[in-house]
Amino acid sequence: MALAIETVHGVVPCILEVPSDEHRDPVAVLLAHGAGAGQQHPWMVGMRERLVARGVPTMTFEYAYTAAGRRAPDRMPKLLDVHEAVATRLAEDFPSVVLAGKSMGGRVGGHLVADGRFPAFGLAYLGYPLVALGASEPRSTVHIETIEQPQLFVSGDRDRLGPIDMVTQVARSVPHGTMVVIEGGDHSFTPLKSSGRTLGDALDVTADALVGWMVEIEGGLGGLAQAGGAT
């Protein structure tokens, strides 16, 4: 379902997919894109489709800059405004919403919850960009250490923007953190060709990890526990 959601920075397009299966989960996922590509990127489409196939209502959206066809990401305040507007709209249909995001999109979600602007059910960081491109020092993560909701970190062990030992330490520093490692994965979870695995395989592992984590934080209740999507 294509939606157009009004924000203070203009209308942004969204795509909401809701499973028709009777075991549909009551918790929805808002999946935010990374800095370099919007919701129609194959990575985003592949993850959205995998979550829906596992019974999870999932919505993706464009930040204002990608909606306008620009390449350079907006500043954090503008990103937060759009993210908040879209999350608030999704919460009208699904009172419990997990904020998930690829790279930058996950980081924006963390700021949104830490700032008290949206009461997410949980947060999932798919490739947390701990070290900015070209930087040598990690970004501060003090804000997410104040978040009481469960937080899932999924990272490739070859991720240069999120060195696995550093991200693991961050996951341990938050109140309710879970760490999942994508073996051989880079920042987008793409494995080495020599491994014999594909990006599709890595996205399957990621979707299974996210769904399994959702089942756990839901206390084993809801449709996902019956849908067979979790591992």
Cβ proximity of 160 and 129 under 8 Å: no
Which residues is 29 bridged to in the sheet? 58, 98
Whole-number pLDDT of residue 20: 85
Torsion angles phi and psi, residue 177, rounded to 5:
-100, 145
What mean pLDDT is reported for the chain?
93
CATH dotted code for 2-227: 3.40.50.1820
Q: In whole angstroms, give the CA distance from residue 63 to residue 60.
A: 10
**H or E stretch covering 114:** helix 104-114
Per-residue pLDDT tens digits for 117-137: 999 999 999 999 999 988 989
Contacts of 72-78 with CB under 8 Å at 24 or more apart are 73/35, 73/104, 74/9, 76/108, 76/111, 78/9
Give me 111's structure tokens: 């700021």
Residue type, 88: T
Whole-number pLDDT of residue 23: 66
Whole-number pLDDT of residue 25: 73
Q: Residues in the chain with pLDDT < 70?
A: 22-23, 220-231
Smallest Cα–Cα separation from 55: which of 219, 230, 231, 202? 230
> What are the DSSP calls for 38-80, one per residue?
-TTSHHHHHHHHHHHHTT--EEEE--HHHHTT-SSPPPHHHHH
Residue type, 197: R
Smallest Cα–Cα separation from 162: which of 207, 208, 103? 103
The residue ranges of every structural domain in the chain are: 2-227
Per-residue pLDDT tens digits for 153-186: 999 999 999 999 999 999 999 999 999 999 999 9
Q: In whole angstroms, give the CA distance from residue 38 to residue 32.
A: 9
pTM comes to 0.93
